[in-house]
Amino acid sequence: MRVVRSIRTMQRLVSQAKRSGKRVGFVPTMGALHDGHRSLLRRCRRENDLAVLSIFVNPKQFGLREDFAKYPRREHDDKKLAKKEKVDIMFVPSVKEMYPEGYLTYIEVEKMTQFLCGRSRPGHFKGVTTVVGKLLNIVTPDVLYLGQKDAQQAAVLKRMARDLNFPVAVRVCPTVREADGLAMSSRNQYLPAGQRREAAVLYRALREARQGVAAGNRSSAGIAGGIRSRIGRESSGRIDYIECVDADTILPLKRIQGKTIIALAVWFGKTRLIDNIIVRT
């Protein structure tokens, strides 16, 4: 495995691979890799000739009072995991490399970033689409791998790739969970033991919601109310949002129909966790 920190070097290596007919797969991350990332890397390795992983804690997607400074950075451990998963190139650019002095250009997807995390974290998705747009131009992959846990992010990036004609296929892979159902996240390590136990209620509540939809409940307000009630009964979690949205447009639905994302964000102490499930009617 080669660790690359220069954009120019990254572009040269991929260009060489493509000239020799290799198919390039790409997994963009902010590091602190866990089994959720591992599942993306395994699929990337299985389906491509060249597997590229990026690790970049992107300052443009953090708000002023968010956790950019304390976000876990574990390059040594990440490198060991990447080697085990047979990654070919680990791209680890600096902030200065990605955003040189005088940087002025951004990408923004409208409408579908106004809800869910976009409403709670103004500017967040502008930072996400900008950095992923840059990474797609640098790595020029044939396939981009994303996780379903970040459902809104995946939908937004799929739309960006389509609207801006990026020549890349986007694969959204299933959420990987802990034994008690909590979606794997680099932020889970922030949770003290008591809050970590409580956080398992999120998936229990989402599963109960899915059962409600299967039983015929199509009211978004009713489904959200049931989730809210269970989280309130079984934890000290402070709810940011619970919403049912169209899976493709991320627009809120009054009644659940077609492919729908039931999404939530909940604070446990100072840690904000997100999760979701997809239902089809």
| Coil vs helix vs strand at 3 | strand
Report d(CA 204, CA 199) in Å as an integer: 10
Q: Rounded to whole angstroms, what are the CA distances from 44 to 78, 87, 259? A: 16, 9, 26
Among the listed residues 168, 171, 236, the one whose alpha carbon sits nearest the alpha carbon of residue 202: 236
Element (H, E) at 171: strand 169-173
Report d(CA 86, CA 49) in Å as an integer: 11
Among the listed residues 168, 161, 140, 139, the one whose alpha carbon sits nearest the alpha carbon of residue 7: 139
Q: Are 51 and 86 in contact (CB under 8 A)?
A: yes
Q: Are 89 and 10 in contact (CB under 8 A)?
A: yes
Annotated active-site residue 37? The verdict is yes
First to last CA, the chain: 45
Question: Which of these is catalytic: 34, 37, 76, 124?
Answer: 37
For the annotated catalytic residues, the residue numbers are 37
